[in-house]
Structure 1
Amino acid sequence: MALSPDGETLAGAGDDGILYFWNVATWRRIGRLTATQAEDVAFSPDGRVLATAGTDGAVRLWDVQARREVMPRPATRKGNIVAWKVAYTTDGTKLLSGDSDGTVRWWDTTTHRLVGAPLQGSGTALAVSPDGTTMATDGGAGTIVLHDLVTRRRIGAPLVGHTGTPLDVAFSPDGTTLASAGSDGTVRVWSLVRGRQSGRPVTRPGTGAIYGMAISDDGRTLVISSGSGVRLWTLTGRDRRGRLVVNPLGRPIAPDRIGDGGPVALSPDGKTLATGASDGVIDLWTVTTQRQSGAPLIGHTEDDGKRWVRGLAFSPDGAVLASTGADGTLRFWDVGTRRQIGPPVTGVHASALAFTPDGATLAAGMDDGTVRQWDRRTRREKVSPMRGHMDAVTYVAFNPDGSVLASASKDRTVRLWDLRTGQQKGQPLAGHTHAVWMAALSPDGRLIASAGRDSTIRLWDVATRRQLGRPLTGHLGDVSGIAFTPDGRTLVSAGYDATIRLWDVSLPSDLEAGVCDLAQRAITREEWNLHVPGAPYEPICAPAVP
C-alpha cells in the first residue's frame, strides 16, 4: 500500500491481483486496474506513475490517471524469482527492486532497462533516504545494510540486533534515523550517525508473531498462540481510569511442540487449554498449573506430507472438543475420556470452527468459501452449505442466541447468515482492503468487530450492517486475533507485530458526544428510528438530514 506524494490518493494491491485506488478525503474507491498479484507498490515522486513488484518476478509501471501499463514490457527475471519490494530514488529516474534471490536491482524509469550490476541485499525490506543518497535493505541473518547510491558501495558495518528477518525499514525525514520492524516481533530504531541501535526495542522480543487468541468465558484469562509457543495472560480487573489490566502468567507452554503458532481453544470455564501441533496431535493443558493434562488426542493423519491441526473448538458445556486437520477430517473428542467420538467426518477442509450457544450444532468455515453445519450428536450434516463468499472462510462466530452466524473470509468481507432460513442477511460488510482473518460478536450481539491483513480493526452495527466510525489502527502487521471481554467494554486484539492491544468500546458518560466521536458523520433518520424508536429525530453530530 502506498500514499501518493500529494497525500490525496491511496493505492493498494489486493489478493485477487487487482490494484485499487482510493480518495483519501472521502475514503471512496476511485479506480482499479487488473495486474499480476503484487507484493509491493510505490508512487513516483511526481505521483504520476505507480510501480508494482510482482510474485511473477516482474516490475511494472502504471499510469495513475489513465489506469494502464506504461512499460512496453514488464521488467522480469528468469527463474522462480519473486519481486518483494520497490522504491524510487528521490529524483524519480531510477527504480529499485528487492528480489527473493537476495539482490537489489536498479531500473532506468525512462528506458526501462537494468542499470549496472545488482547489489546484494534481500528484498524483504527496502527504503531510500529522503535525500536520495542512501539505500537500506535486509542484509540477511537479521542484519540491515546501507549502500551509497552514488558509488553503489556498502556504507559501514551491518546494523545488528534483530533475531529474525527485517520485514520493513523507514528513514526519518532528516535521514539520520532508521526504523526497522522484524519477524522477531520487535521494532528497532537506529542512529545512522553513530551506526548503532538507539535505546531498547519498541516491542518486547521473544513473543514472536501472534497467530491466534482466545479469552475465557469468565473474562479472567487470555491465551495467545505465537511463534514462541502459547502464552497465558491474566485479566485482573481495571485500574482507576477504567482500563483493563493485563499481566503475563508464567512462561510459554511447550514452545518446542507448539512454537509454530498452531490453533488454540479455551474451555468455557477457563480451566482447560487445547493446543494443536504440526504433527497432528492435540494436547490438553491445565491452565492453573500450565501442565499437560492427561493423554494427548491422536487421530489426525498425514496427507501429502502434512499433518498439522488446523482448527479447534470446545462445546459450550466443555464436554466435547471439535478439531479439523490437514488430512481433511473433522473429529469430535470426549474431553473427559480423551477418546474420539465415532468415525471422523471426511472431506472437511476448514480451519474455522464454532459451536452454537446451545451446543447442538457445529459450524465450519470452509476453504471453498462455504459454511457448513453438523449435528453434534449424530455428526451428520444438517442443511445445505451456505454459499456467498468468493474465497476461503477464515472465521465463524455465533450471536448470543444462536440465530445469526458471522463469517469472515479472504474475499475481504464479513457476512451475516440467518440460521432459521439459511440465507445471507443483507449485503456483506465490506471495507477491508485485504483478507479478513477474524470476526467477533459483542456479548449483547449488537456489534461485530473484524480484523485482518490490512492491519485495521473495524466495528459494525449488526442491525444496520454499517461501519461505525473510522477503522482502529495501531498494529504494524496482520491483526490475527480479536475478542470482546465478557462485559463488552473492551476489545482485545493481537497481531503479527507481536503486540496485544486493548480498545475501549464502551459507551461514554456523554452519550451524544461519544456517538458523534465514534460515527464521525451525521446520524441518519433510519439509524435514529432504529435505536430511538418513537422519539422525534434530532440532528445530532451534524445539521438535520433531509
Structure 2
Amino acid sequence: MKTDFQFSNLLGTVYSRGNLLFTPDGTCLLSPVGNRVSIFDLVNSKSYTLPFAHRKNIARLALNPRGNLLLSVDEDGQAVLTNVPRRITLYHFSFKGAVSALAFAPSGRHFAAGVGRQIEVWHTPSTPDVADGELEFAPFVRHRVYTGHFDNVQSIEWSSDSRFFLSASRDLTARIWSLDPEEGFIPTTLGGHRQAVLGVWFSQDQETIYTVSKDGALFVWKYVLRPDAPEDADADDDNMQWRIVDRHYFMQNNAHVTCASFHAASNLLVAGFSNGIFGIYELPEFTAIQNLSISQNDIDFVSINKTGEWLAFGASKLGQLLVWEWQSESYILKQQGHFDSMNAIAYSPDSQRIITAADDGKIKVWDVNSGFCVVTFTEHMSGVTACEFAKRGNVLFTASLDGSVRAWDLIRYRNFRTFTAPSRLSFSSLAVDPSGEVICAGSIDSFDIHIWSVQTGQLLDRLSGHEGPVASLAFAPDGGTLVSGSWDKTVRLWNIFARTQTSEPLQLMSDILCVAFRPDSKQIAVTTLDGQLTFWSVSDATQQNGLDARHDVSGGRKLTDRRTAANSAGTKSFTTIRYSADGSCILAGGNSKYICLYDVQSGVLVKKFTVSVNLSLDGTQEFLNSRLLTEAGPRGLIDETGEASDLEDRRDTTLPGAQRGDAAARKVRPEIRVPAVAFSPTGRAFCAASTEGLLIYSLDTVFQFDPFDLDITVTPATTLETLAEKDYLKALVMAFRLNERNLIRRVYEAIPVSDIALVVKDMPSVYLSRLLRFVAIQADESPHLEFNLIWIEALLSKHGRWLKDNRGQLEAELRSVDKAVRRIQSELSRLADENVYRIEYLMAQPVEKKEEEERKQLNWGDEDAEGDRDEEMDDDDEDGEEEWIGLE
C-alpha cells in the first residue's frame, strides 16, 4: 500500500475570521479558514485549499492587481507571500506586530499595511520599476512609515493612480496620505465622527471621500473653500480644505455597523450590521436599494467583486460564507460549516461524498470533488455521535444523543425511518448490517445493544451481557458477526443471526474506546484507554498482535499541563481507528495533534501525520514559551480584555473548563482533537475530523511537475519531434515520463483512430494505470466523445486480464472510467429521447408532389432550364414582384 499521502483539501469549515477577497476577474473568492486559505471557484463550483499553513489564525489577506501574488498575515504579524496559480510559497516575513489593514496599490508596485497605529508602505517584490541589472537583495523593501494615528488603523484604501491613500482608525479620524512628497500637499485629518471609523473610500473621480463609522454615520467630504476665506478668494490650496458637505445615518434599531465596502464604479455602498442584516445603498443620494437578513449574529466582513455584481459576506460566529448577486436577488454561494465539534465521519461507497456529524445536531453531506456541502440535515435535536452507510450507499444511518437513530434517503434527501428505544437513551455508537436489513446501536445510559429492523422500524432484540456502557460497535463486512466494545474492559463477538445468540467475551486490561473489523472479516483491532492497540483473530478469539501506542499519540503541551509533552504519554490514547481498504494498514487518531498509520502485520509505525501547526489551538506546541509564564500562571489563561474600550470586547463569555464547542464564545483556546478518521473505499485517500475542520489527505494530489522514469533525452521538444515522425507509442510514453498534462493531451489527440488499438496493445504495463486515469479524465472534460470511447474499449479489450489481476491497485482508475462511461450513456440517451419526437414530427410532414418535381428540376435540370429560370428571375426583378415566376 502506498503511504505518501499529502494534504489535499479542507472541508467542514468555510470561514473563520479575517477579510474576504475576490480575484481580479471576479470569479474566485479567497476565504481565511483558521491558519489556511481556501479558494472558492464560483463559476465552476469547486473549492480547494492552498497547501501552506500559518503558525496562527490568519487576520488579513491581500491580492495584487494581477491576481498572482497573495500576501497573508496571521495574528502575530507573520506574513507569507504565495504564488496563487502554482500554489507555491515564495517568502516568509514578519511585520513585528499585529496587522489590522492590508492593501495593494492599483499599480501593483507597493502595498500598505496598518501595523498598530502606524502605516508601513513596502515595495512589492519584482516590481516593474526595477531597472535592468539592478538586484533585489530582499523580497520586501520598506518604502516609508507613516505615523499620526493614535489608535489601531482599521482600513486602508488607495487612489486609482496609486499616488495617495486613505486610512481609517479607531481614534475617530480618517487621514489622507501621499505615497511620495507632492508639491503643495499636506497630510490631512478628517475628524468629526463620534465612534471608530470603519472605512474610508474615494469616489470614482476622486473628488469626494466617504467615511463610515461604527455608530452608523456616513459623512461625505469634498474639497471646498474654507468658511473663513474671503468672498473673492481664488480657488487655490491656501483657501481650500476637505469639509463635510453631507451627513447620512444608517437606522438599524440599536445595531451598530460591523463592516462596510464601497464600489466606486457603480457608487454602491454595502454595510453589514451586528444583528445580521446588510444594506445596499446608492451614493451620493444615499438611496436604500436592498435590506436583507442573512444571519443572527455579526457580519464580520463584506467584499464586492470588480464588476459590482456579487457581494461576499463572512460571519465567523456560525462559520457562514455567502455570495449574493444583488441585481437578481439570488445566492451564488451559500455555505456554512459546523459551528460545533465534529464527532463522526463516513465515506460513501463510491468515495464521492463524505458525511460529517457534529455536536450541533447537524449532518452535512460534502462533495469530495467540488469541496462544497451538498445538503444539511437538521432533524436531530441533539448532538449526532455516529454515522454509517448502508452497503449500496443510498441510505445513511445516524445515532444521536436525543435518543433516536434515523435513516436518511440520499437520493431524495429525506428522513424516511426513525428508530427509538422503549426508554429514553442517548445513543453513542452504531453499526449497520452490510445487507442494510438490520441496524444496531449502543448507549452510554444502558448496557444493552438494541437491534432494529430497517424495513419495519420495529425493535427486534436487546443484547445483554456487557456490564458497562457500550462504547463502539462494528459489523463484519461479510455480515456474520457483530463486535462490541465496552467500558467493562471486554470485547464481545455476537452471532445475531443464529438461532441462539451467543457472545464470545475477550478480556482486556482497560476500558475499550473503539473497535474495527478488517475488510476480510477475519481480524478485529481494539484500542483501549491505557494506550494499547491490540489485534484479535475472529475465528479462534485469540490475540495475534499488539503494540503500545502511548508514545506515538503523545505530543503537544496544553497551557494547563504541569508536565512536558514528552512526559505526558501516560494520559494519551487513540479514540478512533480504521483499517485501510486492503486491510494491510490501520489509521488511528485521538486527542492529539498526530494521526498515526501502522502496518498491521509487523506493528510498525509507517507514517505520522501532523494535523495542525496552529498555535492558536491548545496542544499544538511541544514546549511552552517561558516568556509567557507569569506569577499568576500562563498569560493565555489570563483575561486581559477588562481594559478594552468597547463593551463587547470587555464582556467575558468563556465557560470555565469547557474543552470543546464554539471557539468564539465558549473557550478562548480550543484544544486540538481528532475525534474521527475514515479511509476512502478506493484506498487513495483518507479524511480526519479535527478541531479546524475536515482534513483530506490524498495520493492523487496534483503536482505541477512529477517526472517518472525520466532521462536527459526526454524533453517536450524531442517528444514533439517523435510525434512528427509518427512514432506514436514512443511519443506517448515520453509524454507520460514528463507527466505534463498539456503535452500528454497533445500527443493523445494526435494519434489516428486507426492506430489506437496498436498503441494500446504495445503500451508497457507500468504506464497503463496512468493512461487509464488520463483517458477517464479526458472522457469527462474533452468534447471528443467517440474518440475517448475507442480508447476505453481498446484498453479494456487488450489488457482486460491484467486489469482484472491488478484490480486492487486500479480501483480509483476503474471507478473513474465507469463513471465517465455511465455519464456519456445517460447524456446520449437523454439527447435521443429529446430528439426522437422532433425527428418523427419532421418525417411526418407531407411533401407536395409539385414541390418535389420543382426540386428535381433545380437539382438535375439541364443548362437550358437553368438559363430559362435565370431569364424569368431577371424579368421578375424588373417587374418588382416578390415571387419567382418559374416556381409559381
The higher-RCO structure (CA 8 Å, 6+ apart) is 2
Q: Which has the higher helix share?
A: 2
Q: TM-score, normalised by structure 1?
A: 0.46
Q: Which has the larger radius of gyration?
A: 2
Q: TM-score, normalised by structure 2?
A: 0.29
